[in-house]
């Protein structure tokens, strides 16, 4: 299950960003498994000059798929994206 976290985005923009993410991934075979977690209200992401640096983080147990999602979102949304491969995922 790919999990895409939104970090440091200005409150109010997360809703449209979430919609854009789902739209970009809608034709992928794993689209119904994607979840988007919003971390922007509690997360402040700034560099040393206090410039805001929002980013996305993609977690997936399939490292190749995480990379594919990260590359697609980074290019389409013009945002920094971190990708992380999970060791395992245990479905409830």
* Total-model pTM: 0.86
Q: How does residue 19 score in pLDDT terms, banded at 50, 70 and 90?
A: very high
Q: Tell me how far apart the alpha carbons of residues 19 and 25 are, in angstroms, rounded to a whole number.
A: 10
pLDDT tens profile 47-87: 889 888 889 999 999 999 999 999 999 999 999 999 999 98
- Choice between 15 and 73, residue whose per-residue pLDDT is larger: 73
> What is each CA distance from 13 to 7, 28, 32, 45, 59, in whole angstroms?
11, 24, 23, 15, 22
């Amino acid at each position: 299950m790919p999990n895409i976290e939104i970090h440091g985005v200005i409150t109010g923009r997360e809703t449209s960003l979430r919609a854009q993410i789902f739209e970009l991934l809608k034709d992928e075979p794993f689209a119904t498994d994607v979840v988007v977690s919003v971390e922007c209200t509690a997360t402040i992401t700034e560099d040393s000059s206090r410039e805001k640096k929002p980013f996305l983080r993609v977690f997936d147990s399939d490292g190749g798929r995480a990379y594919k999602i990260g590359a697609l979102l980074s290019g389409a949304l013009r945002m920094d994206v971190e990708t992380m491969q999970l060791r395992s995922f245990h479905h409830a």
